[in-house]
């Protein structure tokens, strides 16, 4: 069922408002407040916000209190309800909305809501800059379409709420996907324990507007690693022999990480995404760090890369007489879309105006912590699927010029709404 073209202007305005105020992992204060505002306008039977939407202890990669408070204050300055921001204290962002209509299946839709920590393009040919909805937060932008995801989630909820159905429909507005830090907290919140069918959605992924991929597979399992090297500082000119150079240890580790042997059983990845250390050109550096990740085509291959990365890092520290700490951070397993979920999406897409091509399956080739939620539902006997709504996007995902084709918002709402209704009806 479609929400109808009368909602198109609402979808575009909502998406642009969210795009203007992107917030990275666990700092989605304004975003959550704006979502809650729309949920209250739609009218839901149950609404869980912040700590009530998550397992607080299962959150990963939560920033420090000063950082959280700065973003909370910014959200209030942008017009967010201070009382609602207080409910999210400590970075407890995100929400779960529930529509209950008696006996029947329980269907859930998961959408992510966080932005990326990078500055957005100010070029005149970048639509958000030209149209006046470029990010107002210089440290962040929606470079992966999560503003569109949140908008589609609200659009689907509004469409389903306005229709007749039997059963329960939930929408999970998940924070911290980009840090692979929010999926676990939402999966272990209890809100998935009664779910029969779970869908997760993404826009783009190099698929054009008008194309729908009913089932995404090929998720790489991922784990983030934070490495800290410690040595001894010394005067680089006067006493070079007294130092233990942490940057040398870091540099050796980076080089050797990329030398980890590939595995015969499938694809593996490693990346040192952020590195640094030292204080001045004439001081032997006593501290250095690596923030990176390992991935694998399967969870077992990711574990292989983790073990090898740990060996390499510890070896580099020993070579340069430094100490090292290695912390595991955000992580997500691999997963596969169930055939039944693929059928729901493909059948729904076939009835939607604007859909020109339907692909049943494609491989992501990256990682996503929706897999944590998918496997939770699957392990409990339910069905889960991950779908893609194509959108023409200038620039690749995570680039400064990324944007979405707003025509895909309506297509996304209509496709997902149709799939949800079919799942709620259940087998004939």
Residue 313: pLDDT over 50: yes
Q: Which two tokens stand for residue 317?
A: 């520290």
Q: Are 230 and 246 in contact (CB under 8 A)?
A: yes
Report DSSP state, residue 279. S
Q: What is the bridge-based pairing of β-strands 211-217 and 167-174?
A: unpaired
Q: How confident is the model at residue 7 (pLDDT cuts 50, 70, 90)?
A: confident
pLDDT (0 to 100) of residue 330: 86
pLDDT (0 to 100) of residue 5: 59
Task: State whether 124 and 58 are in the same domain.
Answer: yes
Taking residues 238-243, what's their average pLDDT? 95
Residue 242: pLDDT over 90: yes
Q: How confident is the model at residue 426 (pLDDT cuts 50, 70, 90)?
A: low
Interhelix angle for 65-77 vs 29-42, to 10°? 50
Task: State whether 203 and 242 are in the same domain.
Answer: no
Cα-based distances in Å from 167 to 195, 339, 420: 11, 22, 11
Average pLDDT in the chain: 95
Task: State whether 355 and 280 are in the same domain.
Answer: no
Task: State whether 161 and 188 are in the same domain.
Answer: yes
pLDDT (0 to 100) of residue 427: 54
User: Which parts of 52-166 are beta strand (E)?
Assistant: 95-101, 106-112
Taking residues 188-198, what's their average pLDDT? 97
Residue 428: pLDDT over 70: no
Any idea what the Cα angle at residue 160 is, between residues 154 and 165, rounded to 5°?
155
Measure the CA–CA gap between 152 and 389, rounded to whole angstroms: 10
Residue 373: pLDDT over 60: yes
Task: State whether 317 and 258 are in the same domain.
Answer: yes
Measure the CA–CA gap between 374 and 160, rounded to whole angstroms: 22
How many other CB atoms sit within 10 Å of the CB of residue 281? 6
Task: State whether 276 and 158 are in the same domain.
Answer: no
Whole-model pTM: value is 0.92
Task: State whether 162 and 245 are in the same domain.
Answer: no
Closest CA to 388 of 350, 333, 349, 334: 349
The percentage of residues in the chain with a pLDDT greater than 90, rounded to a whole number, is: 94
Name the residue range of residue 398's domain.
Answer: 5-219+335-425
pLDDT (0 to 100) of residue 164: 86
Task: State whether 120 and 44 are in the same domain.
Answer: yes
Q: What is the bridge-based pairing of β-strands 197-203 and 106-112?
A: parallel
Taking residues 50-66, what's their average pLDDT? 95
Q: At which of 296, 331, 366 does a domain end? A: 331
Taking residues 190-218, what's their average pLDDT? 97
Q: At which of 331, 358, 393 does a domain end? A: 331
Question: To which residue do tokens 């699957």 refer?
Answer: 378
CA dihedral 205, 175, 306, 290 (to 10 degrees): 100
Max Cα-Cα span within the chain? 83
Task: State whether 228 and 264 are in the same domain.
Answer: yes
Q: What is the bridge-based pairing of β-strands 357-363 and 287-296?
A: unpaired
Q: What is the bridge-based pairing of β-strands 106-112 and 283-284?
A: unpaired
Q: At which of 331, 352, 368 does a domain end? A: 331
CATH label of the domain that carries residue 278: 3.30.70.360
Residue 6: pLDDT over 90: no
CATH label of the domain that carries residue 378: 3.40.630.10
Task: State whether 409 and 380 are in the same domain.
Answer: yes
Taking residues 316-340, what's their average pLDDT? 95
Task: State whether 117 and 159 are in the same domain.
Answer: yes
Residue 3: pLDDT over 70: no
Highest mean pLDDT among 130-134, 217-221, 330-334: 130-134
Residue 366: pLDDT over 90: no
pLDDT (0 to 100) of residue 365: 83
Q: How confident is the model at residue 1 (pLDDT cuts 50, 70, 90)?
A: very low
4 CB contacts (<8 Å, ≥6 apart)?
A: none
Q: Which two tokens stand for residue 270?
A: 């490693």
Task: State whether 114 and 261 are in the same domain.
Answer: no
Number of domains in the chain: 2
Task: Read off the pLDDT of residues 152-179 as tens digits, 9 standing for 90 and up.
Answer: 999 999 999 988 899 999 999 999 999 9
């Amino acid at each position: 069922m479609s929400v109808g073209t009368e909602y198109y202007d609402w979808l575009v305005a909502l998406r642009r408002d969210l795009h203007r105020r992107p917030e990275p992992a666990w700092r989605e204060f304004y975003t959550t407040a704006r979502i809650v505002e729309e949920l209250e306008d739609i009218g839901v039977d149950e609404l869980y916000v912040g700590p009530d939407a998550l397992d607080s202890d299962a959150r990963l990669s939560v920033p420090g209190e000063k950082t959280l408070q700065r973003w909370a204050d910014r959200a209030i300055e942008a017009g967010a309800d201070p009382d609602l921001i207080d409910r999210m204290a400590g970075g407890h962002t995100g929400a779960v909305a529930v529509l209950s209509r008696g006996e029947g299946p329980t269907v859930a839709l998961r959408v992510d809501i966080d932005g990326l920590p990078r500055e957005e393009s100010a070029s005149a040919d970048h639509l958000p800059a030209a149209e006046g909805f470029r990010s107002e937060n210089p440290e962040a932008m929606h470079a992966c379409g999560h503003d569109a995801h949140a908008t589609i989630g609200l659009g689907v909820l509004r469409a389903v709420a306005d229709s007749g159905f039997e059963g329960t429909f939930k929408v999970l507005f998940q924070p911290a996907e980009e840090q692979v830090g929010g999926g676990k907290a939402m999966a272990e919140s209890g809100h998935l324990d009664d779910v029969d069918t779970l869908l997760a959605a993404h826009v783009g992924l190099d698929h054009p507007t008008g194309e729908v991929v009913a089932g995404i597979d090929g998720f790489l399992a991922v784990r983030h690693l934070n490495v800290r090297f410690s040595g001894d500082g010394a005067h680089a000119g006067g006493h070079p022999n007294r130092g233990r150079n942490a940057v040398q240890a870091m540099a050796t580790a980076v080089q050797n990480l990329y030398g980890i042997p590939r595995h015969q059983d499938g694809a593996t990845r490693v990346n040192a995404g952020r590195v640094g250390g030292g204080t001045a050109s004439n001081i032997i550096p006593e501290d250095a760090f690596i923030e990176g990740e390992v991935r694998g085509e399967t969870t077992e291959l990711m574990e292989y890369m983790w073990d090898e990365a740990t060996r390499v890092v510890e070896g580099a520290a020993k070579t340069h007489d430094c100490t090292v700490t290695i912390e595991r951070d955000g992580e997500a397993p691999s997963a596969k879309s169930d055939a039944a979920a693929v059928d729901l999406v493909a059948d729904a897409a076939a009835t939607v105006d604007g859909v020109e091509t339907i692909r049943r399956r494609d491989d992501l080739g990256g990682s996503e912590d929706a897999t944590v939620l998918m496997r939770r539902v699957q392990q409990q006997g339910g069905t889960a699927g991950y779908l893609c709504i194509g959108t023409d996007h200038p620039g690749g995902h995570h680039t400064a010029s990324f944007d979405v084709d707003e025509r895909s918002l309506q297509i996304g709402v209509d496709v997902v709404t149709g799939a949800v209704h079919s799942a709620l009806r259940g087998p004939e």
